[in-house]
Chains A and B, each alone.
Chain A
Amino acid sequence: MTRKGRRLALIGSAVGLMALAVGLILFALKDNIVFFYAPAELAEKGVQPGTRLRIGGLVKQGTVERAPGKPISFTVTDNVKDVAVTYDGLLPDLFREGQGVVVEGVLETKDTFRADSVLAKHDETYMPREVADALKKQGLWRGGTAQNGPPTTQSQGSP
């Protein structure tokens, strides 16, 4: 092997080993570095009430309630389990039923949650309004106002 070949092999194996090490670290820390839990994961991981965390999922159709003087309430679902969320504050513009959402706050009981921040999650599809309207007519529209639409976000469910 030439000196150049040796250097290349050395660098290649060093980068390979490092990638393996980082991969193992990320795998080991998977539960700790996760940005949010899906509702079904709360029970799976045995998250205790009183824990501060983020939950991500879809805002369930027909569950958003806004009454004057009372916190907003809605249900976050991953189509497996539901969590009832209450929130007192401003909602982002993209917050709507059937859309993805990430709420941060405290788990009060095993399926109720008090949020102190609500972030809207949007999906990776982009289309003009006319196309969306045409899809809605055909019943193929997956976001916004569809009834019982399938999840629009890839990262639902287990990571």
Chain B
Amino acid sequence: MLKYANPTNFLTLAAKLLPWLGAATAALFAFGLYLGFFVAPADAVQGEIFRIMYIHVPAAWLAMLGYVAMAGSALGTLVWRHPLADVAQKAAAPLGAAFTFVCLVTGSLWGKPTWGTWWVWDPRLTSVLVLFIMYLGLIALWQTIEDPGRAARAAAILTLVGIVNIPIIKFSVDWNSLHQGESVFRAGGSTIYPTMLWPLLVMAVAFTLLFVTLLIMSMRNEILRRRVRRLSLLAADLAR
């Protein structure tokens, strides 16, 4: 396993895995969307609009999972000083931001017809907006610091500071919020009827695979970008 923590071995592994991951992601997305939009029955209270859940909920899970993965890489950067952890951290930030954005937009589209508003400053909505801003801040920080090693350490510290937001997001619906409570990961089992739940789980796996695929692609690009940078620095030295 540790063998693949070496950037060159990682590139070899990525080249082997990516076609399979890509195909599996596409197949699961097609299957999950078909189940969610054509097979699952309409909700008794909300009718057809509830189907936006099949995009909104997996996007929200991945927005948080992406942050946890990024925080894990931040530990890898700070504790083990591993260059691949730096790369994973940098690659995860824009992906997490994109998933958070999808979550916020689909949530807003769902909120208007059901709650009657596009946006409220409810604890859940606000804490997810904070997550989005954290991601944007991290992307900005990566862009600001020229040296990749220093950028990685600064970003790692900021990432670990931001981790307190994750339990806040999770528990925000237990305070007085307009957003309904947790449906799936709760004591006493899911409150989603089984025929509506399992399309959601398929979509969750599809979103996770999409995240992993994009992360590996993005890490590969970042490793190559760093090599180009090193070579051009070397070339500039030689030219002098």
A residues whose Cβ falls under 8 Å from a Cβ of B: 4, 7-8, 11, 14-15, 18-19, 22, 26, 33-38, 56, 90-95, 99, 102, 117-133, 143-144, 153-155, 159
Contacts and interface: CB of A to CB of B under 8 A. Distances in A.
B163 A121 contact: no
Nearest to B180: A124
Contact of A92 (B50, B114, B176): B114
Interface in B164-190: 164, 167-168, 173-178, 180-183, 186
Contact of A126 (B43, B114, B120): B43
B196 A126 contact: yes
A131 B44 contact: yes
B46 A94 contact: yes
B34 interface: no
Contact of B192 (A90, A99, A119, A126): A126
A153 B44 contact: no
Task: Give the interface size bracket for B toward A.
Answer: 35 or more
A35 B122 contact: yes
B175 A120 contact: no
Nearest to A19: B164
A11 B180 contact: no
Contacts of B178: 35-36, 56, 102, 119, 121
Given A19-B164, A37-B176, A129 B192 contact: no
B116 A125 contact: no
Nearest to A154: B181
B196 A128 contact: yes
Contacts of A122: 45-46, 114-115, 180
Nearest to B156: A11
A26 to B, nearest CB: 8
Interface stretch (B3-11, B75-83, B135-143, B217-225): B75-83
Contacts of A37: 176
Given A22-B168, A94-B46, A124-B182, 4 more contacts: A119-B116, A119-B178, A129-B43, A155-B176
23 contacts: A4-B79, A7-B79, A11-B79, A26-B168, A33-B123, A34-B175, A35-B123, A93-B113, A93-B116, A119-B115, A121-B115, A122-B45, A122-B180, A123-B191, A124-B180, A124-B183, A124-B191, A125-B191, A126-B196, A129-B43, A132-B45, A154-B181, A155-B177
The 6 A-B residue pairs with the shortest CB-CB distance in the complex, in nearest-first order: A92-B116, A132-B44, A128-B41, A127-B193, A125-B191, A124-B180
B17 interface: no
Contacts of A123: 180-181, 191
B42 interface: yes
B116 A128 contact: no
Interface in B35-93: 41-46, 50, 53, 75, 78-80
